[in-house]
Structure formats: structure tokens, C-alpha cells
Amino acid sequence: MTIGVFIDGGHGTTGLEIADRLDGRDDIALIVLDDAHRKDDAARRAALNDADFVILCLPDDASRDAVGMISSAKTRVIDASSAHRVADGWTYGFAELEADQQAVIAAAPRVTNPGCYPTGFLALVRPLVRAGLIPTSWPLSVNALSGYSGGGKAMIAEFEGGESPTRARAYGLDLAHKHIAEMRRHAGIDHLPIFQPGVADTYRGMIVEVPLPLHALPGKPTLAQVEAVLTDAYKGSPLVRIASGDVKFVRIEDDAGTDRLTLRVCGNDATGQARLIATLDNLGKGAAGAAVQNLNIMAGFDATVGLTL
Ligand SMILES: NC(=O)C1=CN([C@@H]2O[C@H](COP(=O)(O)OP(=O)(O)OC[C@H]3O[C@@H](n4cnc5c(N)ncnc54)[C@H](OP(=O)(O)O)[C@@H]3O)[C@@H](O)[C@H]2O)C=CC1
Ligand SMILES: CC(=O)N[C@@H](CCC(=O)OP(=O)(O)O)C(=O)O
């Protein structure tokens, strides 16, 4: 079976990464608009309605507009933007997050990719909330560092345009980042997490970290108990893995260039304090890898075709 796929925004950072992963596949026929037509609404409308699958790699407003242009009942959509992550009628495209999520994605007409930061946060936190180790009312926080390609073409130009603006900087200082609603909704928690993102002078890769005072949690779990819950939640997953054992460092480069998501439970049992740490590539499992995984699942292919494990 060959499916027709149109990447709207295919010349952007995420779109090019997705095209790269789909390149050479004989089960996929890419519908491509040339440079003169890629922002032409008539050409886009035709491509959006011709395709079996559309992958939106656009700014949020342009994504909403693109969805509004689709009238064909056969066209199924994967949106890489943050336009529909808490919207009604959309399926959250994080196959590993819940036991039945892959089956829900397989049948869905409209799938939204998770955000890159929420991918790390939710992978660490959701199984612990589900297991009752973290109460839904717990005030969580999340610290993270992203490569600058996370900001798309504009941020790449800023960092590569000559003198780099910085080696690393904190942002989201108003605690109103667009990912926090998504984090709360899909973790199943009551409060918005305090989200402390940063961007580093490296092209790709992410560290997403959740500090957890185990001693203050109702069940006072040990590090091993926390790790056991995560291990059980992701057993058999080809992309999400739990890394055990002592390490001196966790590096932003650890999963860069792959579509993996690695989770670690670090900390100190004597003080009852944990650091839950996820590493991933913002353009891998954080964007393009997740989009291709969702496409594979929706089209009935093996979930990891074209991905780097
Ligand atoms: N970069 C990342 O790591 C991640 C990105 N995302 C999300 O993916 C989406 C794309 O991001 P990213 O690839 O980084 O962004 P880029 O800015 O790199 O690319 C966006 C692309 O969309 C094109 N575009 C903008 N408006 C329109 C329009 N009206 N019609 C057609 N094309 C249009 C742009 O054209 P032009 O080339 O002319 O500017 C550009 O090619 C965003 O919503 C982002 O939030 C999600 C997770 C991670
Ligand atoms: C470094 C950087 O600026 N990152 C982007 C998030 C990239 C991303 O995940 O995009 P989505 O919002 O579509 O999920 C930001 O913080 O806005």
C-alpha cells in the first residue's frame, strides 16, 4: 500500500526533518509544492485535500488555517504545532503515554503531536500520577534545556547569524509558556507546573528534568520504587527506555540525532530527594520522529519505520 503524504510547512526545520525520515520509502508518495507555490493558498488547499495524510509543520495560526481548508473526508491530519494539543476533537499523539493510546491514534482522523518539552515531562510524570505515587494536587515543577533548533528558522538564524547571542539562557520567565496547559491536561494534574525552560548554544537535543521530594510524598517512595513504575510503564517500548545505573553526567547530546526518549531516576535515598531526567532530541521524539511514528501508526505500518532507535 502506498499513501499520499503532504507536509505543509515542508521547507521549515521540522518539515525538512520529517521529509528526511520519509525519503526513499516506497510505501509513501510525498506531495511536494515547489518554492513558488508552497505559500499559495489554492495550491495548498489542493494538496491538503488530495493527500491521505497531511503533516502540519506550521506556526499555530497557519495550522488552524490549514485545518480549515480541509474538506475531504479522506484526509487525516497530524499537527506538529501547538494549536490543537488541548483542543476538542483531537487525539494526543503520544503513543506510549497510556496503555491504549497507540490504538486510539491508529483510528484517529486528527492527531496532534505533543510538544517537545511536554514529551519529556509527561513521560516522567504521567505513570507516577497514574500509579498514585504523585497526588494529582502535587505542585510540580520542570526545568529544561533545549537546543536552539527548538525555536525554528528564526532562532537558528539568531544563533548562527554571526556571533552567537549566548551560550545558554533561561526564558519563559513570566511562567506563561504555551506548553504548560498541555502538561497539566495530559499529566492529569490539578495545577499548572512551574516551567523553567532554557536554550543552549547547541543545534539539537534536550534535557527535561522534574525535581521530586520523595520524603514529602504520601507514600515516601524510594528511587527504586519510582524507577520500577517507569520501567513497567514503558516495558516493550522500542523508543522509550529507562537507563539505570550511576552516571556522573547527563548530557544534552545523549539522544540528539535519534528518535529515542531516555528516562533516568537519579537522586539520593538518604535525603529522600529525586531528580527525574529525560533526554531526547527536540527534532526527534520531540517533533519529526513523533510525527513519523504517528503517521506509521495511523497508516497501519510498523510504528518505528524510518526512525533512529
Ligand atoms: N523546531 C522544533 O524543535 C519543534 C517545532 N515544533 C512546532 O512545529 C511547527 C513548525 O516549527 P519549525 O519547523 O521549528 O518552524 P520553522 O519556522 O523552521 O518552519 C515553519 C515553516 O512554515 C512555513 N510557513 C509559515 N507560514 C506559512 C503559511 N501560511 N503557509 C505555508 N507555509 C508557511 C515557513 O515558511 P518560510 O520558510 O518562508 O519561513 C517555514 O518554512 C511549529 O508550530 C513549532 O512550534 C514542535 C516541536 C519541536
Ligand atoms: C527553544 C525553544 O524556543 N523552543 C520552543 C518550543 C519548541 C516546540 O516544542 O514547539 P512546540 O511549541 O510546537 O511544541 C519554545 O519554547 O517556544
14 within ligand 2 shell (Cβ under 6 A): no
In the chain, the domains with their CATH numbers are 3-114+286-299 (3.40.50.720), 116-281 (3.30.360.10)
- Asked whether residue 289 carries a pLDDT value surpassing 90, the answer given is yes
- Asked whether residue 122 carries a pLDDT value surpassing 90, the answer given is yes
Output the residue whose Cα is nearest ligand 1's atom 23: 9
Please tell me the total number of residues recorded for the chain in this structure.
Answer: 309
pLDDT at 166: 98
- Asked whether residue 241 carries a pLDDT value surpassing 90, the answer given is yes
112 within ligand 2 shell (Cβ under 6 A): no
pLDDT at 83: 98
- Asked whether residue 76 carries a pLDDT value surpassing 90, the answer given is yes
What is the phi/psi pair of residue 213, to 5°? -80, 95
Quick one: which atom of ligand 1 is closest to the CA of 9? 22
Question: Which ligand gives the minimal distance to the CA of 82?
Answer: 2
Question: Which ligand gives the minimal distance to the CA of 178?
Answer: 2
123 within ligand 1 shell (Cβ under 6 A): no
The H or E element that residue 48 is part of is helix 41-50
Question: Which ligand gives the minimal distance to the CA of 9?
Answer: 1
115 within ligand 2 shell (Cβ under 6 A): yes
Q: What is the C-alpha separation between 259 and 155, in angstroms, rounded? A: 22
Q: How many CB atoms lie within 10 A of CB 201?
A: 14
Alpha carbon of 250 to ligand 1 centroid (Å) = 29
Alpha carbon of 60 to ligand 1 centroid (Å) = 9
pLDDT at 246: 86
Q: State the average pLDDT over residues 160-166.
A: 96
Share of the chain above pLDDT 90, in %: 99
DSSP-derived secondary structure letter, 219: T
Confidence of residue 30 (pLDDT cuts 50, 70, 90): very high
Alpha carbon of 282 to ligand 1 centroid (Å) = 14
Alpha carbon of 205 to ligand 2 centroid (Å) = 12
- Asked whether residue 214 carries a pLDDT value surpassing 90, the answer given is yes
56 within ligand 2 shell (Cβ under 6 A): no
**Among residues 17, 9, 11, 8, which one has the least CA distance to residue 203?**
17
Confidence of residue 79 (pLDDT cuts 50, 70, 90): very high
Q: What is the C-alpha separation between 35 and 49, in angstroms, rounded? A: 19
Please report the DSSP string for 143-177 in residue order. Answer: EEEEEGGGGHHHHHHHHHSSS-S-SEEE--TTS--
Out of 47-56, 125-134, 242-251, 300-309, which region has the weakest mean confidence (pLDDT)?
242-251
CA distances from 113 to 7, 81, 180 (A): 14, 7, 15
282 within ligand 1 shell (Cβ under 6 A): yes
What is the phi/psi pair of residue 300, to 5°? 85, 15
Confidence of residue 99 (pLDDT cuts 50, 70, 90): very high
pLDDT at 245: 83
Answer whether 0.95 is exceeded by the pTM. yes
As annotated, the active-site residues are: 116
Output the residue whose Cα is nearest ligand 1's atom 29: 62
45 within ligand 1 shell (Cβ under 6 A): no
Residue 141 β-bridge partners: 194
140 touches 190 (CB < 8 A): no
Q: State the average pLDDT over residues 6-15.
A: 98
Sign of CA dihedral 28, 33, 38, 41: negative
* CA angle, residues 132, 137, 140, in degrees to nearest 5: 90
Quick one: which atom of ligand 1 is closest to the CA of 15? 13
220 within ligand 1 shell (Cβ under 6 A): no
Average pLDDT, the chain: 98
